[in-house]
Amino acid sequence: LFRSLLIRNLLYFANMHIRELSAVLDIPAPKKELVREEAWKLLRHIVQCSVFLLRDRTVDCLLVCSLYS
């Protein structure tokens, strides 16, 4: 129960940060939704399959890397 609540909160705040970062980085409007979608997919993959990537890194760091990739 605690783990699912933690993951739900992590994904909720990550989604908010994806939206904030894509607005701040001035991504062109036609590409903005695609970039958000890809960043979201990558973050969900990290949380579900590659949790070790979260060790010694913040979620914001991973989000910035996913937005620039």
Q: What is the pLDDT of residues 18-62, one digit of tens each?
A: 888 888 888 888 888 888 888 888 888 887 888 788 788 888 888
Q: What is the pTM of this model?
A: 0.70
The neighbour count for residue 41, using CB atoms within 10 Å, is 11
CA distances from 31 to 4, 11, 19, 46, 67 (A): 32, 22, 13, 23, 11
- Give the span between the Cα atoms of 50 and 45, in whole angstroms: 7
- Provide the angle, in degrees to the nearest 10, between the axes of the packed helices 2-24 and 29-49: 150
3-state DSSP assignment of residue 50: coil
